[in-house]
Amino acid sequence: MKKPANIRINLLPKDPFLSSTAGRFLQWVLGVGRYLVVFTELVVIISFGSRFTLDRRVTDLNNGILQKSTIISSYGDLEDKVKEIQKKTESYEQVEQKQNLANAFPALSEITPQDVALTNLTVQPGAVSFSGKTNSTNSLNLLINNLVLSSKFTDVAVERLTSGTAQEPGFTFKINATVKAQ
């Protein structure tokens, strides 16, 4: 058996314009234009679809910000209370420091011999440092012994001790001690 022949009949005549250079260019532009229109529509559809996802994210972020700002504002009273407690603590520390300073002066004046002259006195919270001059070793020994034996001072350390010259006899010294908390 023979296959029937494939016969194609085109009743539309070919336009001679389509055979020219301008006609072929116009056909090419129309073909490419179709693809550009399809691509543009595809981009529009994708952007339209992604808009719902992005809107949902924005809504979730706004809700999260609202929740967190509510939580932060609920801690506002706590923050104010903590700041108030910090101020009170600082005030207490200052009062305690002044009390230690006030206690250090009388204690030091009680144990310092008459012929010892203090030239520099530094009182810090919990510590005292002073330098001075004396003409006799007995007075210096008495000062150091009084500091060591005192119930108000601990950790007595002689930082510097120098003897005087022929023009200025005596001893200059610098002593550090820790003030006991009362």
pLDDT band with cut points at 50, 70 and 90 for residue 101: low
In a domain, 85, yes or no: no
Distances, alpha carbon 12 to alpha carbons 3, 9, 31, 56, 77, in Å: 27, 9, 21, 56, 88
pLDDT, residue 109, reads 83
Q: Is the pLDDT of residue 64 over 90?
A: yes
pLDDT at 42: 95
**pLDDT level of residue 8 (50, 70, 90 thresholds):** confident
Whether the pLDDT of residue 63 is over 90: the answer is yes
Residue 34, domain member (yes or no): no
CA distance 53 to 71: 27
Is 108 within the bounds of a domain? yes
Number of domains composing the chain: 1
The residue range of the domain holding 127 is 91-179
pLDDT tens track for 38-52: 999 999 999 998 999
Identify whether 98 is part of a domain.
Answer: yes
Q: What pTM value is reported for the model?
A: 0.46
Longest dimension (CA), the chain: 148
Q: pLDDT tens, 118-153?
A: 888 887 777 888 899 998 888 888 988 988 888 888
Separation CA 157–CA 177 (nearest Å): 6
Task: Report the CATH number at residue 132.
Answer: 3.30.1360.100
User: How distant, in Å, are the alpha carbons of 30, 117, 118, 133, 134 from that of 114?
Assistant: 116, 8, 11, 11, 10
Tens digits of residue pLDDT in 150-179? 888 888 898 898 888 878 888 899 999 888
**71 in any annotated domain:** no
Model pLDDT, residue 95: 64
User: CB–CB of 157/177 below 8 Å?
Assistant: yes
Q: Is residue 55 part of a domain?
A: no
Could you tell me if residue 61 is inside a domain?
no
Q: Is the pLDDT confidence value at 59 over 70? A: yes
pLDDT above 70 coverage of the chain, percent: 93
Instruction: Give residue 50's pLDDT.
Output: 92
> Kind of pairing, strands 171-179 and 127-134?
antiparallel
pLDDT at position 51 is 92
pLDDT: which is higher, 16 or 33:
33
145 domain-assigned: yes
